[in-house]
Amino acid sequence: MCQKKDTTRARQGTSRTCPMTLLLLACASAPSAIVGTPVVSALRLPPPRMCTPAPDPVQPVFDDLLQSPGLQSDAVQLQRGVFGRSLVASRAVEAGEVLLSVPLSLCLTTHRSGVCGGLVGQTDAMWEAAGDLREEVGEKLYQRGATWDVRLALAVLEATAGAGGPFWDCYRQLLPVPPAVLHPVCLPVALQPELQDKELERGTAERAALLSDVYPMLADHAVHPVTASYVQMGAPLDRVPSPLQWAYGLVTSHCFAMPAPNPNPDPNPYPNPNSSPNSSPNPDH
């Protein structure tokens, strides 16, 4: 504040004025920038520029995958947009033209009996949790819920833990992280009411409980690399899907059935398909 004697002198016509008073006078007398005065015209803004999108860090990984033995493609490319990554055509194509051909040797397969194929080995954790994935599950475990879709989720877990070979070591880098999997079973319990569908909410809770009941060890976030990182960083684990939930979400949202090589495949060795609402009419997947 200015001292009282300074204010008095200013009233007497002296040239000495409070610095704060000068600042206020300057602001009051300055033309308004809102009404388009010379203050605005004096500004020289740079011309607008289009931002160059940052390169996708996994593009080299995808390019390497396209060079995998037996994989054929010259018409697709990876594109990253506001909704994430997508596979798009890189040239004009004809109706019925094959855009991408992936050999069976690079695929994970599961028979309705529970036999998994496509892995180069198994981790100790999976041996302890589910036994040998090359063997049938048996009728008892099948009736509990170890259907082909759940077994294929086990294969995905193993492939992304290092038991899928070089192709899957690269491909796992393209898969969404657990919190980003848009599947109801991967939703945290606190967010399941946001489905706004009581039947869907009930089915989601039942499926999540089934996965934990059939393979309880795979509900532990620490047993798989993709979820163990969240344990190490101290993340709230109730917001992160379990390893099996993550893999199951991938399987049921990305899986497709292939015709069996045998034109007369064997029937389902374990009847009562009601325990697997996602079962496919084909025995091999």
Q: Give me the pLDDT at residue 244, please.
A: 97
Alpha-carbon gap, residue 240 to 177, rounded angstroms: 10
3-state secondary structure of 260: coil
Alpha-carbon gap, residue 265 to 101, rounded angstroms: 24
pLDDT (tens, 9 = 90+) of the chain, 285 residues, equals 444 444 434 444 444 544 443 333 333 444 444 444 444 445 566 666 655 556 678 889 999 999 999 998 888 888 887 777 888 888 999 999 999 999 999 999 999 999 999 999 999 999 999 999 999 999 999 999 999 999 999 999 999 999 999 999 999 999 999 999 989 999 999 999 999 999 999 999 999 999 999 999 999 999 999 999 999 999 999 999 999 999 999 999 876 665 555 545 555 555 454 433 333 333 333
Give the list of residues 6+ apart from residue 154 with CB closer than 8 angstroms, or none.
116, 126, 130, 133, 215, 218, 244, 247
Q: Which residue, 254, 226, 222, 240, is CA-closest to 129?
A: 222
Model confidence pTM above 0.75 = no
Q: Give me the pLDDT at residue 276, please.
A: 37
